[in-house]
Structure 1
Amino acid sequence: MKRIVVFTLMLAFLNCNTQVPKEFPKDALEDTFIALDGNLIALKTILEAHKGKTVFIDIWASWCGDCLRGMPKVKALQKVHDDVVFVFLSLDRGQEAWKRGIKKHDVQGEHYYMDKGKKGTFADFVQIDWIPRYMVVDTKGKIKLFKAVEADDKRIKQTLQ
């Protein structure tokens, strides 16, 4: 009985102290990705290019069944929210697979390859435990939605409105 009480208290303590980040830390902003043209680009540069606009981030891979099942829902969001910038960060196993996946699935938006995979500072910050992973960054560069794993998550629609 004592163990159950201690476990319950620990669980409650951990849940109460879990804060959802509202800003990217400096090291995550400085993490780099590979653009379609092969150049490295920092997350900070990507976000600064869209200052004043809402940015929807989709972390995906062309081999990921859940990512592909969510893609029609993402495309539906794009149709409704044409003022939102859609940034796709790929965890594909190679750049060729990433580029083939974009073309094969007709993924429209900005594309970057996470060459460090789940080991980069950005990936570490967002604690990728599942893909697809969706985030929304507001017009001031603040994180409005830190984590969603379903493209039809009601929080995405609420945040984009």
Structure 2
Amino acid sequence: MKYLIVLLISFLSCKTEPKTFSDEALQDTFLNLGGNSVTFKSILEAHKGKTVVIDIWASWCGDCIKGMPKVKTLQAAFKDVSYVFLSLDRGEDAWKRGIKKYNVVGDHYYMPNGKKCDFADFVNISWIPRYMVVNKAGEIVVFNVIEANDNKLIEALKK
């Protein structure tokens, strides 16, 4: 009986991953490479109807840099997918140097408020790199993986 109660409590306390972004996260602003402020909603709208891999990273992050070859492998295998890179770098110059230095290919945005913004609150960034997948219908199908070769991520891209 004890085990049944523990199992029931565990099941009921599990958080389900969100299927859509909150209004606050969608209205949060990022900077594009031209220095213009854009909402996260407009970033997603630019890729409407496509599967999107979101990579939250920073050029100072050792795990992010070590993971870049896996991202490049993913990009080679899934060429019809859009790749959006959201940077937690400490400054715009470091962000831009990191893109060039590591030859990061995709759409790039800088999070000027870092982890202190509505998007970061919604995503609850606890580790980077952090990968998410948004399907063609605009639903979040992978919310939190830390490896670009994670099976959940790859299976979501195959659909």
Q: Do both proteins adopt the same fold according to a TM-score greater than 0.5, normalized to the shorter chain?
A: yes
Aligned to 1:57: 54
% same residue: 58
CA positional deviation for 1:16: 3.3
Which residue type is aligned with residue 93 of structure 1? R
Given the alignment of the two structures, is residue 90 of structure 1 paired with residue 87 of structure 2, yes or no? yes
Distance 1:78 1:17 in 2: 32
Which residue type is aligned with residue 81 of structure 1? F
Distance 1:15 1:117, change over 3 A: farther
Given the alignment of the two structures, is residue 155 of structure 1 paired with residue 143 of structure 2, yes or no? no
Pairing of 1:64-143 with structure 2 (within 5 A): 64-143=61-140
1:43-88 alpha-carbon deviations (Å, 9 max, x no partner): 1001111111000000000010000011000011111111000000
Which residue type is aligned with residue 151 of structure 1? A
Aligned to 2:142: 145
Distance 2:100 2:21 in 1: 30
C-alpha root-mean-square deviation of aligned residues, in Å? 1.8
Aligned to 2:17: 20
Distance 2:99 2:93 in 1: 10
1:112-131 alpha-carbon deviations (Å, 9 max, x no partner): 00011001100000000000
CA positional deviation for 1:101: 0.2
Distance 2:39 2:12 in 1: 32
Distance 2:14 2:87 in 1: 31
Long gaps (5+) in structure 1? none
TM-score by length of 2: 0.92
TM-score by length of 1: 0.91
User: Which runs of 4 or more aligned residues in structure 1 lie more than 6 Å from their structure 2 counterparts after TM superposition?
Assistant: none
Long gaps (5+) in structure 2? none
Distance 1:91 1:15 in 2: 34
Aligned to 2:32: 35
